[in-house]
Structure 1
C-alpha cells in the first residue's frame, strides 16, 4: 500500500489549571480549509487503494448485500392513534424505511403509505428521523433530514391524502432526532422542541396549524438551560402535556407539566433532578414514573395528575426488585414494565394499582424493545442474537399473541450457539459478555473473534439480530458483545461506575473481556479484532493506547478521540454530563489521563487501525478521527496500517442499505486481512 501521508505538524499549546498541553494537528479541525480538504482527500484515496485491493472484499461485499437484502418486510416504531397503527416499514431493496398506517395488526389489515423518503429523494439520502401522530390519527408530524445530519425539518401530513398540509418547521430539535413533539388534544397544533442557532438553550414552542407565529413557552428553572434536551408527550385524556427535560446526553432528568385547557397555562415542576425520574407514561388520571430515588434498579411511582401535582404526592406501585427497570407503557387497565439483567431482557405486567398479573414469557437471552400502548392494547418487539424481531400484542385481559408484523427472511442464525461468559475486571467486578459461535467451535485459540462494546450513557447492549454478522461467523469466527460499566445493564449504579471520574472502569472491563477470550481459548491474541462506534469508538482509542498488544486489529467508527477539546464543539458540550469538563481540575486530570489522542506514544507498536467518520456528523465532529489518524500514522512503530475512511454522511443514523453494505464490507475485509483469515464462501 501507499506510504503514510506526511502530515504537517503545526504545534499549538493550550493551558488548563497550569498544565500546558501541546498538539500538532489542531489545524485539521478547520473542515473548510483547503489544507484540510486536500489532506482528507489524500487519506481517502490511500484508504480506498488499500481496501479495494483486498482480495476478499468483492466477495464479502456480495455476501453482505445478499444478507442485508434477504429479509422480507420489517416494521419498527409501532404507535397507535385513534383506530390507526403507524409504523416505519422497511422493504427489501429499498434504501430507507417509509411511514405507513395500518388498520390493525393482523394479516388482513389495510395498509397505506403516508411518507416514502425514496419517492422524495431517489439518492436514498433522505430519512425519517421520527414521527408523532395526532390523537385521532388523522394527521402526523414527520421529521425529515438529509445526509445523516439529523437536522430535522418538521412536516405535517394529512394521513388520508399523504400530503403536506402545513408550512414546514426547519431546524427543529437539531442533532437530537428524538420525537420531541406533543399534539394538543384537539389536533389544532402541537408543542415541539427547538434550540437556538448555535444548537443550545432548547426551548418548548407551540405551533398552531395554519399559523407561522409560533409561541415560545420558556421553561424556567432548568438545572443547566444551555444543554437541556426536551422530550414531550401528552396525556391520553387530553388534560396535560409533559416535558421530560434531560441535562445533556446521559445526564439527569427534570419533569415539567402544563394544562392543555388554558392557552396561557404555566408550566410547573413535577420532579427535580434529586427525584431521579428517568421514564414516564400517562394512564387514566395518573402519571407513572420510573424512579431511581430509592433503588439503583428503579421502582414505579403513581402520581394522580392535577394542576401543581409533584412527585412528593406519588405512591409506589411497583417496588424495586433484582432486575433493572428500563421501559414503561400503560393501556386502559394495564401497566407494562420492561426490565434487564446484565443484557438479556424481560417483561412484566401489573394492574394500574400495581397488582402483579400473569407473567409474560420471553425467550432466554433476548431483547424486549419498543414497548408502546394505545387504548387497551400494548405492543412490543422481541429479538435475539439468532432470531429477528417479532412484534407481539396484548389486549387488556387477554394472552399475549404474536402479530403479523414480524421480520422473516432467508437469513437465520439459529444454527449458532449463544453463551454467556464473565470476565473479572481490574477491581474484581464480574463483567458479562455474550459469545455467538458455532456449537462445535474449538477453544484452542485458533478461531478469529470480533469483540465489541460501548459502555456509556446508560445505553445497554442487548441481544440484537444483525444479519451481517453471519458473514463473520461463516469464516469460523466468534462474535462477542461485552456489557461494560457505563451502560445500563445492571441499573443506574452500573452506569455511574463507568462515567465521569470512573470512566477507566469501562476500559478495564473491555480489556478484561478481551483477555478472557484469549485465556479461555475462544480466540488467540493474533486472531482477535475489536470494534466500537461513537462512545464505543472512544473505547477503542483508549484500549489501543493503553494496551497496544490487546488485539491484532481495531475498527474505531465515528469515535471521540480528543477528550480535551470535545466540549468546544456544538454537540460536545452536551456530553460533559457523561465525561466531565476540562474546567474541573480533577476531571481535567481524568480526561487527560485517558484521552486517546493525547496518549499516543511515539514508537509504540500499535495494531492495525481503521478509523471512520462522517463529514456531516452532528454528534462527533469529523476532526476526531482525522486528528487521531494523523497522530497514529506519525507515531506507530509496528508497520501496521492506520487508515482513515471518511464519507459524506453523519453518525450512521439514516444510513442507506447501500452505504451500510459498503461500510461493513470495508470493516470485515480489513479485519479478516489483518487476522490472516482467508474468506470462505458460504456452503
Structure 2
C-alpha cells in the first residue's frame, strides 16, 4: 500500500516568529561510520550508515534510544512547552464527537465515532440519521486495549446489517485479522480470519448476498511462502462462516504480480463479483468479473488505462477510464452479454462514453476509501477534482447533467454512501469548516445537514482563505492555498505544507489544531504539487519516476512565491511534510538549504537507492522507479536526500518523526538521514530524531501519541522561528 495513507494531518505546522539568535545546541550522540560501497551501472555509491538499517541489531536499538533521549532533552527544555501542551490538549481532547466511514445496510447505519479523550475511534450502529442518541457501541478497541495501540483498520457490514466484519491490528502494524460481530448484541461470533490486511498491500472484504460468507484478500500464511514474501502475493478467497479458514475456497490471483493490491465488490442481486487489482502503487489496474457459475473473466489488463470499476444496481459495470482522456471519462460495460462479449462492450463504450472527459478531473478511489463514483437506481454521482478543491456532480443513467447537492465553497467532498432510492449521504469540509455530513434527497433536490456533522472546539471564521498560483521552473502554474489569520500583516511567520505523489489530491481539510497557529498570527499554506492528481493523470505523471524533480521544483516555487509576495521571509518560513512528503522535505532541504529556517519531516523516504529493498518498497517501484533501470537510477540518485547531503553546509533545524512499527516506510530511512545530517551540518542548529514505540505510519496512532507529536512539533518550531506564545484572546 502506498506510503501516503497517513500523511499526518494532525501535525500542525507550529506557531512561529523569528529568534535573533539560536541557543547553543548540545552535541548529538556519536554515530560510528562503517563505509560500504555499492556499484550501480558502473557508478560507485558510498554509504557510511548501512549498519543503521538492521533494527534487530542491539547497537542500532541503543543508538535509537540515545537519539530519543537527545531529542527529549532538547524538546523538553524548550520555552513554553507546558503552555503549548495545555493548549494543544485543550483543542485535541475537547469532548466533541466526530464521525467517519459512515455505511448503510438494510435500514441500519454504521460509523466510526471519535470521542476524545478516548485514544481510538470506535464502531457504532444506529437506525436513524436524525437521532444519534439511540446509537449503540458495537465494538470499542479502547475497551480491549487501554493503551490505545489496537485500532480498527476498516469494517464491512453484511447485506442485511445483522453482522459486521472488522479488521483489527495493533501497534501501528496494520496487519489485520478479521473478526465478525453481531450487530445487535455486539458479541464476537464465528471464527477469526487471519492476515486479511497488511500495511503493504492493504486488504478488502465483500459479503456474499446471503450474508453467510464473504470474499476477502488473503496474504500468505507462515510456511506457505518464505518470510520475506508474507506481505506480498495477495490473492482473493471466499470464507464460509462457521468453517475453518484454512479450508477457504481460492478464487483468484495465481497469476497476480507479487505486489498486487485487491479491491472486491459483490452485486447484491446477481451475486456477481467484481475484482479490481492494482499493480503496486503506480495506478495501473486489471479488472475481473465472476459470474454466478463461478467462472472469472478478465476484461481489462494493466496498462489499459481502466482505473476504477463498480456495479450499477442493474448489474452492469460503470468504469472510469483514462484511455484518450487523462482527466477521465465514464463508460458503461454490459454484463448481460456473453462472457466473451465483455471486452467488446468495453471497446464500444470507450468510443461512446456515457460521461465524456471534461475540463475537470474525475476522482478515483482505492484502498477501501469511500467511493468517488456511486450509481443509484436512477442517478450517477461523480466526484470531480478542481485542482485541490473537489465537488460532487450528478447525472441521470443516460449521462445527462442533473442538479447537484449544495456544497461549501473551496471545499472537499467525499464519503459517498447510497441510501434508499436515489438519496446519498456525503461529507463536506473546508479549511475553515469542520466535517459536515449531508443527506441529499434526490426527489426534492434538497441538501440537509445531519447530526453526524462535527462541532469544532475552535472558530476559524476570521481566517482568510485565498488561492494563488506560483510559477514553477518550467513555467507550470502551481496552486498555493493560503490561510491567513486576521491578525497577520506583512511578512511574518509562515508554514508551507506539501506532498506531491501517487496521484493523491491535497484537498481542503479542517484541522482544529491549526487554531494554535492562527492565534499567534501564523500563515498556513498548502501547495498542490505535481505528482498529485489535482489536474488529472498528466499532472501525476509529470511528477513521478524520472520526472520526480518537478515536484521539488514546484514546492520551491511555492515557497519563493510566499517570500517574493511579502507573506514571509526565509528566516520566518517553516516547511513540513510526511510520508511521500517526507521525501519532499529531504529533497528541499538538501537542494535549497537556505530556503527555510526549520523543517518538520515525518515517516519519510530519504535513501532512494535502498527503498525498494524494504517490505513496502516493491509497491513503490511504479511510482519512484528501480535502481535496476539506469534511467530511474540516475534520476533517483540526483535527488535522493541521503546521497545529496554535503559536508560543511549550514542546514536548517530539522526534526524527523518515525514509528518503530511503520509498515509503509522503514524507520531506517529516518535513522540514516538523521545520522548523515548530524555529521554534515555546520549551522549549529539541531537535527533531531524522535522514534515512537508501538506506532506505525501515523494514521492509527492513539490520541495521546498524536497530542505529544503536535506538542513537540510546535515547541520545536516556536523555538527556532521565534514565536513568543501569547495567551489566546
Query: What TM-score bracket applies, with the shorter chain setting the length?
Result: over 0.9
Structure 1's 178 and 86: CA in aligned 2 closer, same or farther, altered over 3 A?
farther
| Corresponding residue of 1:500 | 545
Aligned equivalents of 1:171, 1:135: Cα separation in 2: 23
8 Å contact from structure 2 (residues 167, 197) kept in 1: no
CA distance in 1, matches of 2:132, 2:495: 42
**1:312 equivalent in alignment to 2:347:** yes
1:220, CA displacement in angstroms?
5.0
Change (3 A) 1:338 1:367: same
- How far the C-alpha of 1:92 sits from its partner, in A, is 2.8
Please say if 1:267 is aligned against 2:296. Answer: yes
The answer to whether structure 1 residue 7 and structure 2 residue 54 are counterparts is no
TM-score by length of 1: 0.97
Residue 210 of structure 2 corresponds to residue 189 of structure 1: no
3-state DSSP of counterpart to 1:165: strand
Does the aligned pair in 1 maintain the 2:95–2:117 contact within 8 Å? no
Contact between 1:451 and 1:531, CA under 8 Å: does it hold in 2?
yes
Shift of 1:266: 2.4
Q: How far is the alpha carbon of 1:95 from its aligned partner? A: 1.1
Q: Does 1:134 align with 2:158?
A: yes
- Whole-Å separation in 1 of the counterparts to 2:588 and 2:467: 23
Equivalent in 404, 420, 438 of residue 467 of structure 2: 420
Among residues 250, 253, 262, which one is paired with 1:230 in the alignment? 262
1:278 aligns with 2:320: no
1:323 maps onto 2:360 in alignment: yes
Q: Give the structure 2 partner of residue 462 of structure 1.
A: 507
1:96 aligns with 2:120: yes
Deviations 1:32-86 (A, max 9, x none): 1111011001100000000000111221111111111225211111111111111
2:433 matched residue in structure 1: 387
Corresponding residue for 2:480?
A: 433
Give 1:595-674 correspondences, 5 Å limit. 595-648=640-693, 649-674=695-720
Q: Once the 2 structures are TM-superposed, how far is the Cα of residue 527 of structure 1 from its aligned partner?
A: 0.3
Cα distance between partner residues in 2 of 1:179 and 1:586: 33
- Equivalents in 2 of 1:461, 1:84: separation in Å? 32
Task: Tell me if structure 2 keeps the 8 A contact 1:167–1:210.
Answer: yes
Mean CA deviation greater in 472-481 or 249-258: 249-258
Q: Distance in 2 between matches of 1:650 and 1:408?
A: 29
Hey, what's the Cα distance between the residues in 2 that align with 1:665 and 1:406?
27
What residue number does 2:50 align with?
26
The alignment status of 1:679 with 2:725, answered yes or no, reads yes
After superposing the two structures, state which structure 1 stretch, 99-108 or 133-142, moved more.
99-108
Measured at CA, do residues 31 and 228 of structure 1 come closer, stay the same or move farther in structure 2, by a change above 3 Å? same
Deviates more, 1:618-627 or 1:111-120: 111-120
- Distance between the aligned counterparts of 1:232 and 1:434, measured in 2? 36
Give the match for residue 393 of structure 2. Answer: 348
Residue 20 of structure 2 is matched in structure 1 by: none
Query: For residues 486 and 357 of structure 2, what CA distance do their matches in structure 1 show?
Result: 37
1:584 and 2:629 aligned: yes
1:531-610 paired onto structure 2 within 5 Å = 531-610=576-655
Q: For each residue in 1:496-516, what CA deviation from the matched residue of structure 2 results, as whole angstroms up to 9, or x when unmatched?
A: 100001000000000000111
Query: Residues 467 and 479 of structure 2 are in contact (CA less than 8 Å); yes or no, is this contact kept in structure 1?
Result: yes
Aligned positions of 1:35-434 closer than 5 A: 35-70=59-94, 72-107=96-131, 110-176=134-200, 178=202, 180-196=204-220, 197=227, 198=229, 199-212=231-244, 213-222=247-256, 225-259=257-291, 261-262=292-293, 265-285=294-314, 286-306=316-336, 308=339, 309-310=342-343, 311-314=346-349, 315-326=352-363, 327-376=372-421, 377-398=423-444, 399-434=446-481
CA RMSD of aligned residues (A): 1.4
Partner SS state of residue 382, structure 1: strand
**C-alpha separation between the residues in 1 aligned to 2:390 and 2:202?**
23
Residues 362-387 of structure 1: per-residue CA shift (max 9 Å, x gap): 22110001122134231110000101
- Between 1:526-535 and 1:78-87, the stretch displaced more is 78-87
- 1:178–1:397 distance in 2 versus 1, CA, 3 Å: farther
CA contact (8 A) 1:527 1:552 kept: yes
For 1:14 and 1:60, locate their aligned partners in 2 and report how far apart those are by CA, in whole Å: 46
Query: Larger relative contact order (C-alpha < 8 A, sep ≥ 6)?
Result: 2
Runs of 4+ in 1 over 4 A off after TM superposition: 176-179
| Count of residue pairs brought into register by the alignment | 676
Q: Distance in 2 between matches of 1:274 and 1:375?
A: 36
Q: Secondary structure at the match of 1:171?
A: strand
1:177 Cα offset (Å): 7.8
Q: Deviations over 1:299-347 (max 9, x none)?
A: 1111122363232253521111111111211222211011111101111
CA distance in 2, matches of 1:277, 1:117: 38
Q: Aligned partners of 2:186 and 2:198: how far apart in 1?
A: 25
Residues 529-560 of structure 1 show CA distances to partners (whole Å, capped at 9, x for unaligned) of 00100000000000100000110000110010
Shift of 1:672: 1.4
Offset, 1:251: 2.7
Contact 2:201–2:260 (Cα < 8 Å) also in 1: no
Q: Distance in 2 between matches of 1:558 and 1:449?
A: 22
Seen in structure 2, the aligned counterparts of structure 1 residues 530 and 176 have a Cα distance that, compared at 3 Å, is same
Against the structure 1 CA distance between its residues 109 and 279, is the aligned structure 2 distance closer, same or farther, given a 3 Å change threshold?
farther
Distance 1:346 1:112, change over 3 A: same
Q: Could you tell me how far apart the structure 1 residues matched to 2:506 and 2:252 are?
A: 36
The answer for unaligned runs of 5 or more in structure 1 is none
TM-score, scaled relative to structure 2: 0.91
CA distance in 2, matches of 1:257, 1:483: 36
Structure 1 distance, partners of 2:154, 2:399, is: 32
Deviations 1:151-208 (A, max 9, x none): 1111011111111112112221211585510111111111111223521111111111
Closer/same/farther in 2, CA of residues 174 and 499 from structure 1, 3 Å limit: same
